[in-house]
Structure 1
Amino acid sequence: MSMSNDINVAVIGGGIFGSEIAIEAKACGLTVGIFEAKDNILLGASGNNLNRLHLGFHYPRDIETGKQSIRGFEAFKHKYPECIQGEFQNAYFVANNNSLTPAPEFFEFCELLGVNYEKISASEFPVKVQNADKGILCDEVVYDFNILRDLLWNSLRHSNVEISLGDRVEKVSRAGEKYKIETENQNLVYADVVVNASYADINRISSQLGHEVAERQYEYTAVPIISIDIPRVGITVLDGPFMTLLPYGKSDEFLLYHVEHTRVAKKTSSQMDPNWLVPDTAPFSKVDKQQYFKKMIELCSEYVPDLARAKLVGYLEGPRMILAHKEGTDARPSIVSNYEDSYFTVFAGKVDHCVWVADDICEQIKTKFNL
């Protein structure tokens, strides 16, 4: 669709972060537009992941990521309760061998987080878990991606946020006190403020504005959707090259993840390879899907033997971006950067960070407009 040619806030990227920021900015009485390169919102990393809302237990080597997750967890649950699925036992187990965080240290970390958990042994769990005897039950939940997208669309339409889909931003430049935004669909829009929530494309646009950009680690991941006749549970094995099994939203299916095998390709660079954005040229296009799944089952059934009976339903695939050179801590924070008081970038860590990130950015935008 064609967008107004002069707006207060232009948001680049229609993922969960961009959508949430646009809704909050519109609530302040500003004119807001979203530019999304894909044909719908939430078609990027917002949906191509485990759809887990974190309370921090997954990051025992980085307390900052853990605390950020706690900050976002309740806010997200309160704002989007219809998409939350929490009616299952969700457990973290520590691998008996080769865990970067031994069980005693993991339990100490759980205490530092300050949220509810209960120690359990694998023998107490309703699904057989082996080679990881000690663990916890926690209150983490998953969200149903399709329901979340419907909720966001309702909010965007109700708020009258303008949205241009299938419209990649080609160039952003300064035009006096405004920004000039040029898009693939020949939209030419001037904005007082630009919020770059384009995720893996952040550095390309920041470079156009003359800002120094840091190297990022870009990863292309493939997460199998599986069908298996077991109780509805969540199982994560820490802390290293291990696995996670979680319900797939409110469906009867599960998502299966392995820290190393899920990562089809990895590259550290200042910008992502554009071929990764097109399924026909992305790294997973060159992979034998059945052999990939067979290896995934082999690795994960070492801890959950019932997975040997799993059937492949499909895949969630796409690129993601994380901080480079953070193997020691596995840090996944969300970072808001403010350039020139009118150009913001969002380095998105976890989905449930989106509410507080949007609040933080909108408070800064309100200051600019004296609201």
Structure 2
Amino acid sequence: MSSALDPHIPEPETFSPALRDNGPAAKVAIVGAGWYGCHIAEELRADGHDVHIFESQADIFGGASGHTQNRLHLGYHYARSAMTRRQASEGYRHFKKIYPTLSRVVANNIYAVPRDDSLLDSETYLQVMQASQLPIELVDSTAFGLAPSTTAFRVAEELLCTQSAKRLFGASLRPQLRLGTRAESVEEAHGTLRVNGEPFDAAVDCTWGAWEAGGQGMWPDLYFEPCVTFVYESQLHEFALTLVDGAFFSVYPFQDGLHTLTSVTHTPLGRCRSHDEARQTIARQNTDSLERTRRIMEKDVARYWPPFLDHFRHVDAFFSVKTKMRSASDARVVSVRRSGSRISVFAGKVNTIFTAADLVRQEMHAAVGRNQWASL
């Protein structure tokens, strides 16, 4: 990557990893062992808490964290949400400082703005990113085989090394992990919280609303999208393409010579009221329906990038469930809510794990103090 694209982002003011004056130790149940569950577990362990991670699957990162585009967001996706850009930029800085080996540069990470179809014209998009101090470089779109009707920019966003993260957290959190163990029940009475009948001082839901027992009633404004992501083989290891701003597509490196293809319009297979309903929608998919969806997405890509299928060969697909909050804007900010000693995390992107951890700490103080007072 050109040195002109080195991210010169102001140092954040909200994250203090050395600060460990976090009150009395507590026994904490964390539900979900993805990016959020694992990072928050590490933070709470560093605070001196006794952490236990419930994960229903046989390994960590078995849900959306291991089945998504591995993009370390810097803010380029969110031209219409200044708050999301700010959180993404601050989180990016934190991530590179705390987890320097868990992301890498993609030499040609291209964002393209279609002249006639984008919600923003390319000049406005460029001005927004420059005003946000996000490194961006105008490049020749035709040099990458893009349609002349697009304006292309090379950006500094990086690729998440998800498999490395899985190995790192799997080793460091091994004593805390309860793999293949679903948090079936949660009860709270007289200052005592029980998960599966076991007493805890607090429980943190890191499943983005999928743990119905823990998050019920705290997130009435959420909905669930069952999603399909198509996987392609390619020799273009150092190339990524994302169209903005609107209902477009993205081709992004995944792992080991593979790329993913996602689409704002066609990746979601529906809009569901619960995580279970979303899983049922996924279960109803068949080969014919997936083939139709893939062909439509490939046609959309070829409209703006004609040589796509010359470089990419479809090999697989995977499913995931995304949790989203009803919003009139494209904001994807982090939020944490608490009911008694139950804390629930809702977030948009991996690099807001630090904001989420800070917010969980605040709610932990309130939850644990409340329990100690009730026990007197």
* Counterpart residue identity of residue 243, structure 1: F
Q: Determine the structure 1 residue equivalent to 2:164.
A: 147
1:195-242 deviation line (CA, Å, top 9, x unaligned): 1112141554233xxx45313221111111101344621111111121
State the secondary structure of the residue aligned to 2:57.
coil
CA pair 194-301 structure 1, distance change in 2 beyond 3 A: same
CA pair 283-109 structure 1, distance change in 2 beyond 3 A: farther
Q: Which residue of the other structure, out of 219, 223, 246, is the alignment partner of 1:240?
A: 246
Q: Which residue of the other structure, out of 205, 219, 222, is the alignment partner of 1:196?
A: 205
RMSD of the TM alignment (CA)? 2.4
CA pair 284-63 structure 1, distance change in 2 beyond 3 A: farther
1:247-286 deviation line (CA, Å, top 9, x unaligned): 114x22211112111112223x3x33x153479x634347
The correspondence of residues 351-362 of structure 1 with structure 2, limited to 5 A, is 351-362=350-361
How far does residue 174 in structure 1 lie from its aligned partner after superposition?
0.7
Q: For structure 2, which runs of at least 5 residues remain unmatched after alignment?
A: 1-25, 370-376
Q: Is this contact kept in 1: 2:72–2:158, CA < 8 A?
A: yes
The correspondence of residues 257-272 of structure 1 with structure 2, limited to 5 A, is 257-267=262-272, 269=273, 271-272=274-275
* Counterpart residue identity of residue 196, structure 1: D
How far does residue 287 in structure 1 lie from its aligned partner after superposition?
5.1
Q: Is this contact kept in 1: 2:209–2:219, CA < 8 A?
A: no
State the secondary structure of the residue aligned to 1:201.
coil
Structure 1 stretch 194-203 or stretch 148-157: which is displaced more?
Answer: 194-203
Q: Distance in 2 between matches of 1:177 and 1:287?
A: 53
Q: Distance in 1 between matches of 2:214 and 2:288?
A: 31
Q: Distance in 2 between matches of 1:132 and 1:232?
A: 23
1:24-43 deviation line (CA, Å, top 9, x unaligned): 11111111101112221111
Q: Is this contact kept in 2: 1:121–1:133, CA < 8 A?
A: no
Q: Distance in 2 between matches of 1:167 and 1:132?
A: 52
Q: For structure 1, which runs of at least 5 residues remain unmatched after alignment?
A: 1-6, 183-187
1:309-361 deviation line (CA, Å, top 9, x unaligned): 3211212311101112x3x4222111112333x32110021011113322332
CA pair 193-178 structure 1, distance change in 2 beyond 3 A: same
Q: Distance in 1 between matches of 2:156 and 2:30?
A: 33
The correspondence of residues 330-369 of structure 1 with structure 2, limited to 5 A, is 330-340=330-340, 342-365=341-364
Q: Determine the structure 1 residue equivalent to 2:3.
A: none
How far does residue 81 in structure 1 lie from its aligned partner after superposition?
2.5
* Counterpart residue identity of residue 105, structure 1: T
The correspondence of residues 192-341 of structure 1 with structure 2, limited to 5 A, is 192-207=201-216, 211-230=217-236, 232-249=238-255, 251-267=256-272, 269=273, 271-272=274-275, 274-277=276-279, 282-285=283-286, 288-309=289-310, 310-324=312-326, 326=327, 328-340=328-340
How far does residue 192 in structure 1 lie from its aligned partner after superposition?
0.5
The correspondence of residues 94-173 of structure 1 with structure 2, limited to 5 A, is 94-123=113-142, 125=143, 127-130=144-147, 132-157=149-174, 160=175, 162-173=176-187
1:152-211 deviation line (CA, Å, top 9, x unaligned): 112213xx4x222222222211132121112xxxxx31110111112141554233xxx4
Fraction of identical pairs, as percent? 24
State the secondary structure of the residue aligned to 2:333.
coil
Q: Determine the structure 1 residue equivalent to 2:65.
A: 46
Q: Is this contact kept in 2: 1:265–1:283, CA < 8 A?
A: no
**TM-score normalised by structure 1 residue count:** 0.85
Q: Distance in 1 between matches of 2:173 and 2:304?
A: 43
State the secondary structure of the residue aligned to 2:303.
coil
State the secondary structure of the residue aligned to 1:332.
coil
The number of equivalent residue pairs is 344
State the secondary structure of the residue aligned to 1:284.
coil
* Counterpart residue identity of residue 163, structure 1: L
Q: Distance in 1 between matches of 2:120 and 2:251?
A: 20
State the secondary structure of the residue aligned to 2:59.
coil
CA pair 213-248 structure 1, distance change in 2 beyond 3 A: closer
State the secondary structure of the residue aligned to 1:82.
coil
